[in-house]
Amino acid sequence: MQRARAAAEKAMTLHPGLPEVMVAQAWILYAKGQYDEMIVILRNVIARKSDCEGAYYLLLRGLYASGKYQDVADIAERAIEASGTDYNVFVPIANSLGALGKKDAESNLRQRVIQALEAQLREIPEDARARILLGAYYAEDGRVDDAMREANLAMTLRPNEAMVLYNAACTFCTIQKKPEALDAITKAWRAGFRDSDWARRDPTLSLIHDEPEFQNLYPEKRAGG
C-alpha cells in the first residue's frame, strides 16, 4: 500500500487530471474502503473517458462493495460495452444480480460470460484468471466436470495467485465441496486476498459464510474498528 500510494501521488503531481491517474487514485481509495469518494472520482473519469481502462470495472467493484447492487445492474450494459474485451467487468455484475435475486438476468449474463471467456482462452490459453472464472461459471451452469477441469488447471498454472485461489473457492462452493472451498479460501487469504467486504457479500461463497474458518479470516467490520 505504501508503494502504491507513493506511485499514485507521484502520478498525481505529474498529471493530476489524467483519467488513468485518477483510476490509480481510486484504487488506493478502494483498498482503504473509502468507497463513496472513489465512486465520485470514477464517475467523473467515465464522464470524460468512458473506455478508460479499469474505470468501469473498479466502479462496479466499489458499488458492489458498498451494497449498491441495483446501481451495478443499472449501468451493467454500458459497462460491458465500454470495457471491450475486459471480461473482468462481468464479475461484479453477476454477483450483484445474484444478490438481487434476479435469476433470469443472472442466467442470461452467465451465457455471455462463458462465451467471452471461451473466446479469451482460444486466444490466450495460459490465462489462468480467465480459466478459473470459466470454471466458476461452468459450475453455476451445472457443468461439474468442466468446472473441475478448469479450476484444477488454473490452480496448476497459478498455485500462489490470490484471485485464482479465491475463485477456486467459489467454484467448489457452487458444486457443494465445502472442505475444498475452505482450503482454497484459506490459501487465497494467505496469498493476499483479504477483502472482507467483498468476500462476505459474495453470494457464491454462501456455503462457507457461517464456517468459523471463514469468519476468522474475513471478520465483519465494525464502525470505528
Q: Whole-angstrom Cα distance, residue 165 to residue 136?
A: 11
DSSP category for residue 53: T
Q: What is the DSSP string of 68-116?
A: -HHHHHHTHHHHHHHHTT-GGGHHHHHHHHHHHT-HHHHHHHHHHHHHH
The model's pLDDT over 123-169, given as tens digits with 9 standing for 90+, comes to 999 999 999 999 999 998 999 999 999 999 999 999 999 989 998 99
Give me the residue label for grid cell 482462452. Answer: 121
CB 185 within 8 A of CB 169: yes
Intra-chain end-to-end CA distance of the chain, in Å: 19
Question: In this structure, is residue 46 part of a structural domain?
Answer: yes
Q: Give the list of residues 6+ apart from residue 105 with CB closer than 8 angstroms, or none.
A: 73, 97
CB 31 within 8 A of CB 62: no
Question: In this structure, is residue 188 part of a structural domain?
Answer: no
Considering the entire predicted model, what is its pTM? 0.77
Question: In this structure, is residue 204 part of a structural domain?
Answer: no
Domain ranges, residue 75: 1-102
**pLDDT beneath 70: ranges in the chain:** 222-225
User: By CB neighbour count within 10 A (0-12 exposed, 13-18 middle, 19+ buried), where does 44 fall?
Assistant: middle
Number of separate domains in the chain: 1
Give pLDDT, residue 222. Answer: 61
Give pLDDT, residue 161. Answer: 95
Question: In this structure, is residue 131 part of a structural domain?
Answer: no
Question: In this structure, is residue 58 part of a structural domain?
Answer: yes
Give pLDDT, residue 17. Answer: 80
CATH code, domain carrying 89: 1.25.40.10
CA distances from 137 to 59, 67, 127 (A): 22, 22, 16
Question: In this structure, is residue 215 part of a structural domain?
Answer: no
Question: In this structure, is residue 162 part of a structural domain?
Answer: no
Give pLDDT, residue 110. Answer: 92
Give pLDDT, residue 221. Answer: 72
Question: In this structure, is residue 73 part of a structural domain?
Answer: yes
